[in-house]
Structures are given as C-alpha cells and as structure tokens.
Amino acid sequence: MQTVSTLDFARRGRRYLRRAALAPVAAAALALLLAAFLAHPARAAEAQAAIVPDWGAISAPAPAPARAIGGYARGCLGGAVALPAVGTGYQVMRLSRKRYYGHPELIAFIQAFAKKARADGWPGLLVGDMAQPRGGPILTGHASHQIGLDADIWFTPAPARRLSADERETMSATSMVAVNTMTVDRSVWSSRQLRLLRTAASFPEVERIFVNPAIKRAACAEAGKDRAWLAKIRPWWGHTSHFHVRLRCPPGDTACLAQEPLPAGDGCDSGLDWWFSAEAQPKAGPPATGSRRRFDFADLPPACRGIFFSG
C-alpha cells in the first residue's frame, strides 16, 4: 500500500486549492465567449447546420404521438412501434440493423397482410427493412424508408420453422430476375409470387409497390382480366429479391407529404418499355463507395430536430 507523507499531502492540497480558485473564473469566461459567439444569429445557424445527425445510432422511438413527418425520402417518424420479430405468418430478418420500426399503420398492415397471405397459401412473409426507431435518413441502402410507411418484403417464402438469430442475419434472398436477361427467372418466379403481390395491393392503404421492371412485365403478362391492382405495381431499379410496399399518408397525419397520385391505367404500356431501354440501364462502372449521403437538420422538416432529441 502506498503511503502519503504529510508534506506531500499538503503540497497536493495547495495545488488543488489553486486550481479550484481558478476553475470558476475559467468556466465563466468560457461561457461568456460561447454566448457571445452563438448570440450572432448567423453563427448559431451555422453551428446548428453543421450537425449531421446519425439517425441509425438512436435505439428507441421518440416518445411522441405517432406521426409521419415529411416525405418518404426526406423526413422522420414520431411514436414509432417495433414489429415483433415473429408473428402469425411472418418473421423479421436482419434484426441487428434495428430497422423493424414503423408507423402504427405500417405495423398493423404487415400483421394483416401476413395473415391474409397465409390464408391464401403463402407459407410466411420474410420482412426486410422498415424504418429506424425515429425514421430519418438511412446511411446504407435506401433513399426512402424515412417516415415509417415503407417496408421491404422478400419474394422468398419463409420456411415452416422459426429461423435462428444467425439465419436471420445471413440467409440471403433469392432474386426473381435472371442475370442479364431482364426477364423473370422461371425456376423461382411463379404464380405464387404474383398472387402475393396482388394480395399486398388489395389493401387500400397500400399506395405503391416497387418491383424490378422484369417483375412488373411478368405481372402484366400473367394477371389476366383482373388488372386494376397492377396500377400500384411500379417498376424501379433493383427490387429483384424483395418488393417494397409503400403506404399512403395516414388520414389526419398532416405533417406527412403525400406523393403524386398514381397515373391512370395498369402501367403495362410504353412507359414500362422505357425501363428496358439503354437509357434506363444503370451507368456502368463501380458503385460509388464511401460517399455517405449527408442529411443535415436543415435538409429535414424542422419538427425532426425535436424528434431526434426528444426523450
């Protein structure tokens, strides 16, 4: 055990007292300087704008009323609810990402959709990304999914057993599109997937479902006479192994920015053909890496600052 001599103790004490006497003076001076700096409105705005919030780092929903705030690709979410990892007719994938949150309407939709799909013979949904606990920009993988009204559902049916935690992280989704052919892969695409899309589209709150153009083209060819639901099936890049369901703004959710209404018709016309043109193909070359999309608070609706910092 170390002993401290009386002399030593006294020396330390004097040093401490000197510091203690100086500390309040230093702190007050610093506070004054900071106040003077921030009192300048332009500088304060600058300092605030410089903060790039990491929405993915927040682990709990904002304790606020359920509210989708802003647009699907530029907004945030108050009062989010977590979708339980397993439920009747569905299992949630990639739990470690913590993107299984949504507006209560999205949670209710997935649970109802899973039951309806199962009643229709689909073995079970595998649910991919939804939203972060407070929504907001996602730094990897999605431009949208920001206000808790988007969900990715795999085209791969769930197995009859409960997936292990490890399988939920590592199991991969099957692409429905044959490589380099811009057609569906008949060894995996079937009328079952078509029926699943139709079931999802049958919910009035579902406004759009994004799929690869090859899948839209297959749906157009195979839908038969019942075609009104095809209007909701929208071609988009990617989306070969999952479809992306987007709900309309919930009624009364006034901060939610609605999208353009759907164009008339089933979308199986020349507009769809464009997607197969050279112009529509993604530019060749390696994908841009390391370019984190930057979303300052200034890029989002003002209410998102409160959502980010609340609780």
With beta carbons less than 8 A apart as the criterion, state whether 158 and 92 touch: no
Contact 266, 228 (CB under 8 A): yes
**What string marks each residue from 199 to 238 as x (binds Zn ion by CB under 5 A) or -?**
----------------------------------------
Q: What is the closest distance, in whole angstroms, from the C-beta atom of residue 294 to Zn ion in the complex?
A: 21
Nearer to Zn ion among residue 51 and residue 213 (C-beta) = 213
Q: Is 253 in the site for Zn ion (CB under 5 A)?
A: no
* Closer CB to Zn ion, 248 or 305, in the complex: 248
Closest CA to 251 of 105, 65, 82: 105
Q: How far is the CB of 145 from Zn ion (least distance, A)?
A: 6
Of 64-72, 98-106, 242-250, 284-292, which segment contacts Zn ion by CB under 5 A? Answer: 242-250
81 conformational bin, left if phi > 0, alpha if psi -120 to 50, beta if neither: beta
The interface region with Zn ion, picked from 63-71, 146-154, 263-271, 303-311 by CB under 5 A, is 146-154
Q: How far is the CB of 137 from Zn ion (least distance, A)?
A: 14
What DSSP element (H or E) covers 195?
helix 191-201
Contact 199, 90 (CB under 8 A): no
Residue 244 touches Zn ion, criterion: CB under 5 A: yes
Please list every residue from 27 through 86 that binds Zn ion, using CB under 5 A. none
- Smallest gap from Cβ 144 to Zn ion, in A, equals 7
Nearer to Zn ion, 99 or 198 (CB): 99
Of 237, 229, 158, 147, nearest in space to 194 by CA = 229
Question: Which C-beta is closer to Zn ion: that of 64 or that of 238?
Answer: 238
| Residue whose CB is less far from Zn ion, 105 or 152 | 152
Angle between helices 6-39 and 41-49 in degrees, nearest 10:
110
User: Rounded to an integer, what distance in angstroms lies between the CA atom of residue 61 and that of residue 78?
Assistant: 7
Q: For residue 152, state whether it binds Zn ion (rule: CB under 5 A).
A: yes
Nearest to Zn ion of 173, 303 (CB atom):
173
Three-state SS letters, 46-69? HHHHCCCCCHHHCCCCCCCCCEEE
Report CA-CA distances (Å) from 32 to 23, 190, 241: 14, 70, 57
Asked whether position 105 contacts Zn ion by CB under 5 A, the answer is no
**Least distance (Å) from Zn ion to the CB of residue 142?**
6
- Among 155, 156, 132, 121, which Cα is nearest to 53's? 132
**How near is the Cβ of 249 to Zn ion at its closest, in Å?**
17
Q: Which residue is nearest to Zn ion (CB)?
A: 244
* Residue 94 or 227 having the CB closest to Zn ion: 94
Residues near Zn ion, by CB under 5 A: 152, 244
